[in-house]
């Protein structure tokens, strides 16, 4: 595997007679098209890679622009890794980014929301990963924080389910004239 730097004149093509299994565009001054072994053309640009099902013998770079195209391609066999990307963020902690699944599943007693009221469905819980709420009635309610109301919060229709990834308190606004029952379960991170 090696890199090939090519300049393709405006509205022209350049063919590289290189055998391989991997094509990766490392740099390019504009988007372009490629054709592998005389097949169909593919849109290509910086950052894209292609691994055809069968090994190739040649790659044609097609410049459809009115200006010259400067391209650097890695062509050949084998793999190419790029681990240069580093993401930085503020306000992250060990609970912000998790690559594991919550280890505890808990069902809790149904929550009854009286007619025309806002009801606490679940208190804030630091190690809660998700809360699952099922509206077991034929009425529509709103789910949100402690300010949810008639036009505020997520709509949870009749017999609908909502899964929220939150450790904060969750409330229900019941605009109907009858009590509404919600089935609730939570997932928590283990110790």
The CATH number that applies at residue 53 is: 2.60.120.10
Is the domain of 111 the same as that of 151?
yes
Is the domain of 71 the same as that of 113?
no
Which residues, in sequence order, are bridge partners of residue 154? 143
Is the domain of 181 the same as that of 111?
yes
Give me the pLDDT at residue 103, please.
81
Give me the pLDDT at residue 76, please.
87
Is the domain of 113 the same as that of 49?
no
pLDDT digits (tens, 9 = 90+) for 38-61: 898 999 998 898 988 899 999 999
Question: Which tokens belong to 94?
Answer: 């060990």
**Phi/psi at 19 (nearest 5 deg)?**
-85, 145
Are 98 and 189 within 8 A, CB to CB? yes
Is the domain of 115 the same as that of 61?
no
The Cα–Cα gap between 56 and 40 comes to 13
Is the domain of 66 the same as that of 138?
no
Residue 149 lies in a domain: yes
Is the domain of 176 the same as that of 128?
yes
Is the domain of 133 the same as that of 71?
no
**121 exposure class (CB count in 10 Å sphere: 0-12, 13-18, 19+):** buried
Residue 23 lies in a domain: yes
pLDDT digits (tens, 9 = 90+) for 106-118: 989 999 999 999 9
Are 40 and 75 within 8 A, CB to CB? no
Residue 22 lies in a domain: yes
DSSP single-letter state for residue 48: -
Residue 88 lies in a domain: no
Name residues of the chain where pLDDT drops below 70: 79-100, 191
Which range marks the domain in which residue 68 is found? 2-76
The Cα–Cα gap between 185 and 191 comes to 19
Q: How many domains does the chain have?
A: 2
Question: Which tokens belong to 12?
Answer: 């022209």
Residue 93 lies in a domain: no
- Report the phi/psi class of residue 38: left, alpha or beta, with left for phi > 0 and alpha for psi in -120 to 50: left
pLDDT digits (tens, 9 = 90+) for 11-23: 999 999 999 999 9
Residue 90 lies in a domain: no
pTM of the shown model: 0.50
Is the domain of 52 the same as that of 119?
no
């Amino acid at each position: 595997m090696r890199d090939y730097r090519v300049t393709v004149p405006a509205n022209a093509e350049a063919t590289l007679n290189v055998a391989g299994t991997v094509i990766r565009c490392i740099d390019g001054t504009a988007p372009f098209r490629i054709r592998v072994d005389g097949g169909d053309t593919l849109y290509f640009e910086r950052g894209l890679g292609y691994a055809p099902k069968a090994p190739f013998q040649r790659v044609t770079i097609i410049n459809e622009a009115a200006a010259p195209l400067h391209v650097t391609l890695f062509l050949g066999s084998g793999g190419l890794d790029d681990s240069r990307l580093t993401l930085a963020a503020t306000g992250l902690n060990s609970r912000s980014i998790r690559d594991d699944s919550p280890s505890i599943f808990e069902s809790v007693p149904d929550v009854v929301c009286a007619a025309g009221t806002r009801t606490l469905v679940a208190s804030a819980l630091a190690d809660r990963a998700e809360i699952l709420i099922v509206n077991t009635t034929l009425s529509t309610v709103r789910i949100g924080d402690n300010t949810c109301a008639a036009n505020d919060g997520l709509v949870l229709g009749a017999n609908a389910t909502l899964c929220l990834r939150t450790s904060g308190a969750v409330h229900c606004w019941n605009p109907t004239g009858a009590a509404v029952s919600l089935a609730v379960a939570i997932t928590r991170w283990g110790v």
